[in-house]
Chains A and B, each alone.
Chain A
Amino acid sequence: MSSIILEARDIRYRYPRGMEAIRGISFHIRKGEKIALVGPNGAGKSTLMLMFNGMIRPESGIILFDNEPVSYDRESLRKLRKRVGFVLQNPDRQIIAPTVYQDIAFGPVNLGYSEQSVKEAVTGALRYVGLEGFERRPPHLLSGGEKKRVAIAGVLAMDPDVLVFDEPTSGLDPSGSEDIMELLDELHHQGKTIIISTHDIELAYPWADRAILLLEGQILQEAIPDVAFGRPKYVRQAHLSMPILLDLYFELEKRGYSLPEKKPRTVLDMLHVIDCAFQKTPCCHASPGTISVFDVDVSPHDSLPGWLASHPGVSIGAMGTRAKQHAADNRISLDFTYGVIDKCILRAVIGESSLILTSTGMVRRVEQRVLEFDKVSSIRVPVRLLDPENTVEKQDNPVDPFPGC
């Protein structure tokens, strides 16, 4: 298990002339974890999060970052804030400068980077959030989702280890929220620790490694999502609702079906549960479809149209900002933009082939996920990496099928 990066020991905080907002909270967060802080309005989520980068100082108790107590002098705070990036709920309140470029450059400039490295940091951050070419735009002419991305890029430009998001998906349309959640996934994949606060259970449930339920300034529960969201009593107490997949799982269980131990977190998992419940082999097709993976970072960009022309009717999904950008540049219409691997596996199970556009770092993830699926189901879904030369299609994924339930 990786080391602890952020820890709180019995912290308390009272707003001036107000009631106690944080009433004795202790927890720890490990490096590379994805944490969802969940709770009703006024539970103290935002207050707690503002303590992570020293914006609010607890009245009693201590916060440790990287096993060192946070000290509140100017210089230490600067160091802390460089390593803990904070994205506010309202991007309008976070964007300071008159142009996108200047806003993203704000952090790096104040950290004293040279002009060249500021430029690199800004370009990198913009590329990451998929806003290349927006440098000179003024923020007030951007859409809500774009503003959110600018705010995120402004924090990414400082290259923090921990990213704290207050309600990352509030005020965004469903597809915008999914894009942001995928961006968070991508960041997590790069080794960042990510903490979000949210009301959106359906988004947090499949995403988080661990959920912390807050109520009236105290931790109600701290556990993996299936446990945290799986107890009706706590869920009701925290003014939340149970994730629909979990609800369905419990209802099936109550009807006496024998279900696998692992709770479903995605539609794919749920289908497996249903297959087990009704003792049916999932594949009614002779052979499952193939998942092809196209790496937009290494493969030549002009090889894709030819492949697509020779494989009509293939569903296409893109994972990650660069892949989506690539699809937009090449006018490839995408069928899936979120939860892509699962969707493609679902296609494969019913005998359809699909293509995933992604970046180098994510290729392995496709293989891992498919492998996981192969293990629990008795199907073997072939994954192919489209070769840069696009002549040989390499066969991957040599797994022995083994039954799950």
Chain B
Amino acid sequence: MYEELLEDVAQANGLREVNTYIKLVVGLGAILLCLVSTSYVAPLFIAVLLSGAIIILARIDARTYVELFIVPFWFAAMSVIVIILLTGGSEVYWSWAPLPWLSLSITRESLNEGIFVFCRVIGGMSALIFIALTTPMTDLFIVMRRCRIPEAVVDLAMMIYRTIFMIMHLLVQTYQAQVMRLGYSSFRESIESFATLCGSVFIASWDAGEDLVRAMDARCYAGKFAILGETGPVNIPSLAAAGLFLLVSLCIVIITKNIVAI
């Protein structure tokens, strides 16, 4: 219940003031390059560079980053093992057929395929985490509106965003109050405590919702939600760095298109 929130990390990151669009172009561009690349080199390059950017430029705690990465990492690793074992090929290193209809083998082709998929996944993941850790939701709202997403959707998203943290706060408070009075001490007790927690937070959030309407009314609500703040200006160093990164990555994609691992 005391985990740090991704959003809070993003709010305090070192690249906060960099223009949101530049960060988004870097992240989305990197994902696209990972997808079009036909070799494992470019995705690996992207993963290393973006991880460096996250830890050094955005000054995200390395442990936070590793913890965030570890879940998709294991997921990718397990999927890749299956890919390696199931993909066929001509140059067989090892094979085993435990059942008549199932044969497992490791071949040159399957290993290449496995490494390629794995690098692609971590490349894409690092790009996604780059966006998540450097661009807080509050900045994304600005982009959402610029992208002509209907106003009602953006307004609703903003209110939901604000409410999430309020409800979370309520949840933590109620949970702590329960634990202090020895809730969750046995299985039966846990179920009961959890039910009360849900109930009381539901009622509290209902109340908060009514208060929200009142607060908006008290401030002359006329169907308009606040205009958005500004994103940081486009400055030359960040633009150059982003352009250089994408250009180099693109060159690597082209140069290494026929390179395979083994």
| A, B co-complexed | yes
Q: Which residues of A contact B (CB under 8 A)?
A: 53, 55, 78, 81-82, 86, 88, 92-99, 101-103, 105-107, 109-112, 115, 118, 135-141, 154-155, 158
Most chain B Cβ neighbours within 10 Å, of A53, A115, A138, A158: A138
Let me know if A138 and B228 touch, CB within 8 A: no
Question: Nearest Cβ distance between residue A201 and chain B, in whole angstroms?
Answer: 27
CB neighbours of A78 from chain B (8 A): 220, 222
Question: Nearest Cβ distance between residue B60 and chain A, in whole angstroms?
Answer: 16
Let me know if B225 and A97 touch, CB within 8 A: yes
Let me know if B225 and A138 touch, CB within 8 A: no
CB neighbours of A88 from chain B (8 A): 211, 215, 218
| Given A81-B220, A86-B218, A96-B212, CB of A140 within 8 Å of CB of B226 | no
| Given A98-B158, A98-B161, CB of A81 within 8 Å of CB of B227 | no
**B168 — nearest CB in chain A belongs to which residue?**
A140
Let me know if B220 and A93 touch, CB within 8 A: no
20 inter-chain pairs at a CB distance below 8 angstroms, sorted by A residue, are: A88-B218, A95-B162, A97-B162, A97-B226, A98-B158, A98-B162, A99-B138, A101-B226, A102-B228, A103-B226, A106-B219, A106-B226, A110-B221, A110-B223, A111-B220, A118-B227, A135-B229, A136-B229, A138-B7, A155-B219
Let me know if A106 and B225 touch, CB within 8 A: yes
* Residues from 16 to 31 in B contacting A, C-beta threshold 8 Å: 16
Inter-chain CA distance A95–B227, complex, in Å, is 15
| Given A110-B220, A110-B221, A110-B224, CB of A141 within 8 Å of CB of B11 | yes
| Given A98-B137, A103-B226, A136-B138, CB of A93 within 8 Å of CB of B211 | yes
Task: Tell me the number of A-to-B contacts counted with CB atoms below 8 Å.
Answer: 97
Let me know if A93 and B219 touch, CB within 8 A: no
Within 8 Å of chain A (Cβ to Cβ): is B166?
A: yes
| Given A98-B158, A138-B165, CB of A154 within 8 Å of CB of B219 | yes
Question: B138 contacts which of A94, A98, A154, A155 (Cβ < 8 Å)?
Answer: A98
Let me know if B166 and A158 touch, CB within 8 A: no
Q: What 1/0 flags go to B203-217 for Cβ under 8 Å of A?
A: 000001001101111
| Given A92-B166, A96-B162, A139-B162, CB of A102 within 8 Å of CB of B218 | no
Let me know if B212 and A138 touch, CB within 8 A: no
Question: A140 contacts which of B166, B222, B228 (Cβ < 8 Å)?
Answer: B166
**B212 — nearest CB in chain A belongs to which residue?**
A96
Let me know if B141 and A107 touch, CB within 8 A: no
Interface of A, secondary structure class, is helix
Inter-chain CA distance A110–B222, complex, in Å, is 5
Within 8 Å of chain A (Cβ to Cβ): is B136?
A: yes
Interface of B, secondary structure class, is helix
Question: Nearest Cβ distance between residue B173 and chain A, in whole angstroms?
Answer: 12
Inter-chain CA distance A55–B216, complex, in Å, is 11
Within 8 Å of chain A (Cβ to Cβ): is B159?
A: yes
**A106 — nearest CB in chain B belongs to which residue?**
B226
Question: Nearest Cβ distance between residue B59 and chain A, in whole angstroms?
Answer: 17
Inter-chain CA distance A82–B136, complex, in Å, is 32
Let me know if B226 and A81 touch, CB within 8 A: no
Within 8 Å of chain A (Cβ to Cβ): is B61?
A: no
Question: A112 contacts which of B138, B165, B169, B222 (Cβ < 8 Å)?
Answer: B222
Within 8 Å of chain A (Cβ to Cβ): is B189?
A: no
Question: Nearest Cβ distance between residue A333 and chain B, in whole angstroms?
Answer: 27
A97-B162, A106-B225 are known contacts; what are 16 more A-B pairs with Cβ within 8 Å? A95-B162, A96-B162, A96-B215, A98-B137, A98-B158, A98-B161, A102-B227, A106-B216, A106-B221, A109-B226, A110-B224, A141-B8, A154-B219, A155-B219, A158-B219, A158-B220
Inter-chain CA distance A93–B159, complex, in Å, is 12
Inter-chain CA distance A99–B228, complex, in Å, is 9
Let me know if A94 and B215 touch, CB within 8 A: yes
Question: Nearest Cβ distance between residue A140 and chain B, in whole angstroms?
Answer: 4
CB neighbours of B228 from chain A (8 A): 102
Q: What 1/0 flags go to B1-20 for Cβ under 8 Å of A?
A: 00000011001000010000
